[in-house]
Amino acid sequence: MLAGESSNHLFGPTMLELNKISRPEHSCIVYCSTMRVIAGAKRGMKLLGPKTQVSRPITDRVKESLFSVLYKYDLPAGKIVADLFCGVGSLGLEALSRGAKSGIFVEQDTKIIGILKRNINKAGFVKESKVINADAFKIGAPVDKQKYDLVFVDPPYVRTDNVGQDSPLSGLLKVLAEQVSPGGIVVVRTNRRTELLDGYGRLQIIERRQWGTMAVTILQQGSR
């Protein structure tokens, strides 16, 4: 749990209270067969997801490849992590499973928030997590007491088509440059056809990887 927070404040109603809420005869919550925690303390745990979810779930192979890259930067064990546009929490929960100290999850869709909280509760990471229902383009990764060592940025591809200095993505990355710790890493997932600029504020590109139709750009905060 982040300092000064309580589990009720972070997650609103208790699981018992959530279970009392009336639901349609056919539940909209299912296990996502392609989404699970693939390594660490919660290895193999399946993630819940909305039955009608329109998403770009990251495959086990790609997620493993991404975290193998992050290991080169001594991430995520013992670090503070933010998962923006987090959906049901796949990347943030993977980081916590692999030893991250704490994490925040920022998601705008209120329907997805409920499922995200269930996944966090199911994984047993309530104390290590904070959920924020907001548009990450507007707030970035709000800092409590410590800045972030690792931030995942995974908006819908259509929101990353424009990467220019005046774009919403550029604005977000410039904000994140002030919200990450010195040397902090920001991982941006886009369509493989999208290529970010060399830098945004104090964030500079240090690596770019492609897997299938997606690309991941890794930026690091410098002293520029």
Assigned domain for 217 exists: yes
**Is 8 domain-assigned?**
no
CATH number at residue 204: 3.40.50.150
Which residues lie closer than 8 Å to 208 by C-beta, 6 or more apart? 195, 196, 215, 216, 217, 218
65 within a domain of the structure (yes/no): yes
- C-alpha–C-alpha distance, residues 105 and 37, integer Å: 16
CB atoms within 10 A of CB 92: 30
Query: Is residue 102 in some structural domain?
Result: yes
Residue 19 belongs to some domain of the structure: no
* 167 within domain boundaries: yes
The parent domain of residue 194 ranges over 24-221
Tens-level pLDDT at each residue, the chain (224 residues): 444 444 443 444 443 333 333 333 333 445 444 689 999 999 999 999 887 545 567 888 899 999 999 999 999 999 999 999 999 999 999 999 999 999 999 999 999 999 999 999 999 999 999 999 999 999 999 998 899 999 999 999 999 999 999 999 999 999 999 999 999 999 999 999 999 999 999 999 999 999 999 999 999 998 54
Tokens encoding 124: 């047993």
Strands 180-191, 148-153: pairing is: parallel
Cα–Cα distances (Å) from 21 to 15, 18, 50, 75, 114, in that order, read 10, 5, 17, 39, 12
What is the tally of structural domains in the chain? Answer: 1
Q: Model pTM?
A: 0.84
Q: Is residue 168 domain-resident?
A: yes
Whether the bond between 76 and the residue before it is cis, its omega within 30 degrees of 0, is yes
User: Is 11 a domain residue?
Assistant: no
